[in-house]
Amino acid sequence: MRILIVNKFLYPNGGSETYIFEIGNMLRKMGHEVQYFGMEHEGRIVGNRIDCYTSNMDFHHAGVMDKLKYPFQIIWSREAEEKMTAVLRDFQPDVVHFNNINFQLTPSVIEAVHRFNPQIRMVYTAHDYQWVCPNHMLKIPETGELCERCIDGDYSACTQNRCVHGSYLRSLLGAREGKYYRKRETYQLVDTVICPSRFMEQVLQHHPAVHGRTVIIHNFIPEDSVETAVLSERTRNYVLYFGRYDQEKGIRTALSAARALPEIPFVFAGKGELEQEVKEAADSCSNITNMGFLRGEKLRTTIQNAAFSIFPSEWYENCPFSVVESQLNGTPILASDLGGTPELVLSGKTGETFRPGNAEILKDRIHALWKDPKRLKQYQDNCLMFREEAAKELGLHSLREYCEKLELIYSGKSGGEISNE
């Protein structure tokens, strides 16, 4: 089978990129021919046979002239449409698998596929809420308020609240884009929408394009995740936060809770927009350590040596792998109960969920678990068996098993035939 994977970034940048690289590699191992389409970039690590990509569009570091052109390009990209058609003509794919395409590529690439050959199957993996929310997050950035005002097609709240980068113009353009593609019924051209969580499916059901076309498949367990070490080899002497140091991740709430519990050591590992605040907290509080951004074996060791980890995210997460990663590495988790997060926790077995956004609540939950060694030890023991339990109870599977489900979707099987069990 010839599979074209489409994503605006073709270099390591975030979760959607990890996803497309991993499934592409596995699909090739399974005998399929895989090519990619997206933006050109000096860091690009995948591509297509004719080396045809759109020009790089960087909203944050663009020059004045580029910024003046962007408003005319982010709703419909003629460049993306034309170059996508060139790749289709050369590759002749059986399936086009869309991922993160909005703004830089635009949904014009969906219509390009349909015009080229309406028999090509189109699949979309929903990594965010773009189809129903112009800023992708179901949250008003300026106030931090969770918001679902736009999900039924009235995008006026986006403009009123300046939801896209705090800009009235960008928010107006985001609202116009949402209305434009609803009116054109572009998304109805997609055959199957893969939702990585039940919550994502519930939200996207507000868009008429997805009715009867969704399938829920939680993200896969990466191939390089390792079997956990035995408990006796671990220190287990701190509470861990690992992930982005961004406001929506609840980092300020976590720092407040840590400051209120001076008797408990906290380790923070990550980077992001609030990195300076984490550094200042570590400098002023003897119980807080900032390890910065970690990856690979260093990150795994840091997770495995924690008593438990916290995931205090304050927005509707889709399918955050860090929640799974903690449990996979034998470490219990206290996690936010918003969005798709609670679908990834074996609550009462390998961790617990809590209502986020309140430092006092988080402080009390951390203190209670830290002071209950019997319950904590049981959670830790259960985490060592998480890999087996996860497949059975949470519907998490290996990368190969995940790609076997993709094969069914690519072949035109219905959502009812593709269980997440």
Is the residue at 402 inside a domain? Answer: yes
Residues 6+ apart with CB under 8 A from 82: none
Asked whether residue 364 falls in the same domain as residue 323, the answer is yes
User: Can you tell me the distance from the alpha carbon of 22 to that of 45, in angstroms, rounded to the nearest whole number?
Assistant: 12
Closest C-alpha to 293, from 302, 284, 285:
302
Report yes or no: 164 and 158 within 8 Å, Cβ to Cβ: yes
| Residue type (1 letter), 252 | R
Residue 210 — left, alpha, or beta (φ > 0 → left; ψ -120 to 50 → alpha)? alpha
Are residues 174 and 244 both part of a single domain?
no
Whether residue 249 lies inside any domain: the answer is yes
Domain count for the chain, please give it. 2
18 and 223 Cβ atoms separated by less than 8 Å: no
Q: What is the pLDDT of residue 104?
A: 84
d(CA 124, CA 127): 9
Q: Which two tokens stand for residue 135?
A: 């800023």
Q: Considering the domain boundaries, does residue 186 fall inside one?
A: yes
* Together in a domain, 58 and 108: yes
| pLDDT at residue 68, as a whole number | 45
- Residue 105 and residue 405: Cα distance in Å, rounded? 27
* Strand pairing report for 266-271 and 333-336: unpaired
Q: What is the Cα Rg of the chain in Å?
A: 22
> What's the whole-model pTM score?
0.89
226 within a domain of the structure (yes/no) = no
- How far is C-alpha 225 from the geometric centre of its chain's CA atoms? 18
Instruction: Say if CB 300 and CB 226 are below 8 A apart.
Output: yes
Residue with tokens 């931090």: 144
Same-domain pairing of 184 and 283? no
The answer to the question of residue 290 being in a domain is yes
Q: Residue 30's closest CA among 347, 401, 279?
A: 401
Q: Do 255 and 201 fall within a single domain?
A: no
Quickly count: other Cβ atoms within 10 Å of residue 40's Cβ. 15
Amino acid letter, residue 238? Y
Contact at 8 Å (CB) between 56 and 40? yes
**What does each C-alpha distance from 11 to 16, 43, 56, 194 come to in angstroms?**
10, 5, 12, 22
- 225: in domain: no
In this structure, the answer to whether residues 104 and 169 fall within a common structural domain is yes
Question: Residue 371, SS3?
Answer: coil
Number of C-beta neighbours around residue 1 at 10 A: 15
Q: Which long-range contacts (CB under 8 A, 24 or more apart) does 182-186 make?
A: 182/153, 182/207, 182/208, 184/111, 185/209, 186/107, 186/110, 186/111
Please give the pLDDT value at position 395.
Answer: 85
CATH of the domain at 157: 3.40.50.2000
Q: CA–CA separation, 8 vs 31, rounded Å?
A: 25
Same domain, 135 and 18: yes
Helix, strand or coil for residue 93? coil
Same domain, 390 and 402: no
Going by C-alpha positions, the residue among 394, 419, 402 that lies closest to residue 344 is 394
Which residue is associated with the tokens 């969906």? 110
Quick one: 194 and 321 in the same domain? Answer: no
Domain shared by 355 and 411, yes or no? no
Q: In which domain, by residue range, is 356 found?
A: 231-394
Q: Take residue 24 and report the two structure tokens written for it.
A: 């592409």
Q: How far is CA 123 from CA 159, 180, 188, 256, in A?
A: 30, 21, 11, 43
Cα 83 to Cα 101: distance, rounded to the nearest angstrom: 14
Give whole-number Cα distances, 241 to 125, 257, 266, 300, in Å. 28, 12, 8, 13
> Which pLDDT value is given to residue 418?
65
What is the structure's pLDDT at 169? Answer: 86
pLDDT at 298: 94
One domain, residues 242 and 387: yes
Same domain as 57, residue 179? yes
d(CA 39, CA 50): 14
- Do 163 and 129 meet the contact criterion of CB atoms below 8 Å apart? no
Give the pLDDT confidence score for residue 230 in this predicted structure.
52
In a domain, 353, yes or no: yes
* Phi, psi torsion values for 304, nearest 5 degrees: -65, -25
Over its length of 421 residues, how does the chain's per-residue pLDDT go in tens digits? 999 999 999 998 888 898 999 999 999 999 999 999 999 999 999 999 999 999 986 555 545 444 445 455 567 789 999 999 999 999 999 999 999 998 789 999 999 999 999 999 999 999 999 999 999 999 998 898 999 999 999 999 999 999 988 889 889 988 988 998 899 999 999 999 999 999 999 999 999 989 999 999 999 987 665 554 455 578 889 999 999 999 999 999 999 999 999 999 999 999 999 999 999 999 999 999 999 999 889 999 999 999 999 999 999 999 998 999 999 999 999 999 999 999 999 999 999 999 999 999 999 999 999 999 999 999 999 998 887 887 788 888 899 999 999 999 999 976 555 656 5
